[in-house]
Amino acid sequence: TVEHQDPRELRLPEDEFDVVHSSWLLHRLADPEVALRAMARAVLPGGQVVLQWSFGRPAADGLAMRDALDGVYAHARWKERLAGAPSAIHRHSVERVRDVLVDEGLEIVVEQRDVAVSAGPDPEALRRFARATAFSEPADVLGDDADAFVDEVLSALFESGHADLHNARLIARRRGDEDDVSDADDGDQAPLLVRPFPQAVGLLEVVEADSLSPLMRRLTLHGEGLADMIVEQPGEIVTLIWPARGTEEIFLPEPGRWRFAGGREQPARNYTVRAFDAEARSLTVDFFLHGDHGDRGFRGEDGDEGEATEATEAAAAGDHGAAGRWAGAARPGDRVGFAGSRVHWVTDPAAEWTLLVGDETALPAIAATVAELPTDHPTFVVLEVRDEAEHAALDVDHAHARVHWVHRGDAEPGRGRGLEDAVRALTLPDGPGQVWAAGESLVIRSLRAHLLKERELPKATVSALGYWSHPRTSRASRTT
């Protein structure tokens, strides 16, 4: 759901979100307090507010770059055209922003001042950054002349010696119930949901390719860049990157920011970290081979090279399921880029039971989570797959889990009510639990409504993610 609001009068539902993220907004507001308090109140217990803004110095320090900026705005070429979009840059110190968040009951977990802009000395990248952040409003007014204006601004700032934007970053967390159990033991604190992304980037080479089932393909990848990646939770997310269509070179984003040099657009998809070994520089990813590709899409050692090229080009074009076709055709020596990793769910140590629900796209994350849960922890798993042959994809010891398989047969994934009906039929234990579910967006939306409204589970205990969706033009009723 997308909703457009004026940040000066921001209104968000309270206790609703795991993460609220704002980038390069606060310095455009004369008074950011309304927006800050709305964002702080919107996060659930254990949730986080992530803020990035420029000019994070006290207003009393003055704005040394003001004279340089005023000179550019007064230039005959810009003065009249920018009369309706005057320079509106406001300084809000880290201390001021921090005090508002703390007053709303949040604790600061990351505080960074004078954050370096990843654009670095590259003039083109620096221009894009400035145009998208501090000078976006005049850039919108000037249209095709925006780059010339931003260049003039940057030149004036560098010549005056006041080009430092004093970028700041804060991550604040609302304390959860589990924090009151033992504040003295840092080991009891919930892990940080948000980390700078990507932590690590690099090129990976396929070293092993196996089929777990007709529709699930496992690739083991190796790359030196994995030494810098941190994986703390089961089922974390890694982003794989392919070369753009018509090229063979894989360009990587800058560490700490999802930005590509030269404004390049790179096709990328998110996947679950099924297994990871930083010391061995090894990453394991399981791919669901969408549609009718399955084992017919596999390529052996003597397979057709053209098939891999075609699959890579399809992935570069954003073709639905193309990444699965690439995985189905991949063999040792094939390369792919990576950026990682991100936490998408943190298990609750206070939960007395766990319910995991999903289709094949969620199966790797479910398998990784089941493998980490204690064997005496009541665990319920509901999985929709094509048929019994797909059971092998859950290749972990799950004797302690009650697994309910839903077979859809030849029906299209993400249609029908089989997954939800299986959950409805479950008798869950009393006491606090936790739920993680992922799959087709409409299926998951309906399932989430059942869990929250009919079973009346607390919002903070239910994480329901739409991993994928059918094209809107072809969405049909899920009633069978």
* pLDDT, tens digit (0-9, with 9 covering 90-100), for 224-265: 999 999 898 888 999 999 988 778 889 898 877 777 776 677
| Domain regions of the chain by residue span | 7-178, 200-342, 354-474
- The tens digit of pLDDT for each residue in 378-428 reads 999 999 999 999 999 998 887 789 999 999 999 988 888 999 999 999 999
Angle between helices 123-132 and 146-160 (to 10 degrees): 110
Give the model's confidence band at 465: pLDDT under 50 very low, under 70 low, under 90 confident, else very high.
confident
- The tens digit of pLDDT for each residue in 255-291 reads 777 777 766 778 889 999 999 999 999 999 999 986 5
pTM above 0.75, yes or no: no
* Torsional sign, CA 310, 315, 320, 324: positive
pLDDT at residue 123 in the model: 58
CATH 3.30.450.40 assigned to domain 200-342? The reply is no
Question: In terms of CATH, what superfamily is 7-178?
Answer: Vaccinia Virus protein VP39 (3.40.50.150)
Burial of 130 (0-12, 13-18, 19+ CB in 10 A): buried
pLDDT at residue 298 in the model: 29
pLDDT at residue 433 in the model: 94
* Beta bridge mates, 206: 221
- The tens digit of pLDDT for each residue in 148-199 reads 888 888 788 777 766 667 788 898 988 764 444 334 344 444 455 566 778 8
Write the single-letter amino acid at 139. A
- Cα 21 to Cα 326: distance, rounded to the nearest angstrom: 33
Q: What is the dihedral of CA 75, 78, 83, 84, to 10 degrees?
A: -150
Same fold, 200-342 and 354-474: no
Average pLDDT of the chain is 81
Give the model's confidence band at 338: pLDDT under 50 very low, under 70 low, under 90 confident, else very high.
very high
CA 121-125-127 angle, 5° bins: 100
pLDDT over threshold 70, residue 323:
yes
- The tens digit of pLDDT for each residue in 79-117 reads 888 887 766 678 888 999 999 999 999 988 888 877 665
pLDDT at residue 460 in the model: 81
Residue 404: both structure tokens together: 């309910």
- Which CATH architecture does the domain made up of 354-474 adopt? 3-Layer(aba) Sandwich (3.40)
Write the single-letter amino acid at 240. L
CA distances from 397 to 132, 138, 232, 371, 451 (A): 49, 59, 21, 7, 27
pLDDT over threshold 60, residue 49:
yes
CA distances from 373 to 148, 322, 356, 369, 380 (A): 57, 33, 12, 6, 11
